[in-house]
Structures are given as structure tokens and as C-alpha cells.
């Protein structure tokens, strides 16, 4: 019976580790995507402003 207890403890800890890793990964990738999007929007705005001045 004690072996079954350890098995489920290991499975639960593996799930917790997986959740933490995925949360960190999605957060980092999301921050990179948002930064890239804002940089592209800024460049597009500058190009539109430069074209409007001509």
C-alpha cells in the first residue's frame, strides 16, 4: 500500500512541475510576442508619420 502512495505522490509532483514549467514558458513567450508587437506598431506609426509629412 505504501508503494502506491509514493507512486501517486510522484505523479502529483510531476504534474506540478509540468504546470510550473509551462506557466513560465508561456509567460516568457507572451512577453516576447508583446514586445515584438509593440516594436512593430511603433515602426509602422513612424512610417505613417513620415509619409504624412511628405
Residue 31 domain-assigned (yes or no): yes
Residue 9 domain-assigned (yes or no): no
And the C-alpha cell for 46?
513612424
This prediction has a pTM of: 0.70
Residue 12 has pLDDT above 90, yes or no: yes
Residue 40 domain-assigned (yes or no): yes
In the prediction, which pLDDT does 3 show? 81
Q: d(Cα 23, Cα 32) in Å, to the nearest integer? A: 14
Q: What's the chain's average pLDDT?
A: 94
Q: d(Cα 29, Cα 21) in Å, to the nearest integer? A: 12
And the C-alpha cell for 37?
508587437
**SS3 state of residue 36:** helix
Q: Sign of the C-alpha dihedral, residues 15, 21, 24, 30?
A: negative
Tell me how many domains the chain contains: 1
Domain that holds residue 50: 22-54
Amino acid at each position: 500500500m505504501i508503494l502506491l502512495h509514493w507512486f501517486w505522490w510522484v505523479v502529483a509532483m510531476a504534474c506540478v512541475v509540468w504546470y510550473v514549467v509551462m506557466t513560465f514558458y508561456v509567460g516568457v513567450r507572451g512577453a516576447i510576442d508583446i514586445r515584438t508587437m509593440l516594436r512593430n506598431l511603433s515602426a509602422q506609426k513612424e512610417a505613417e508619420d513620415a509619409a504624412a509629412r511628405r
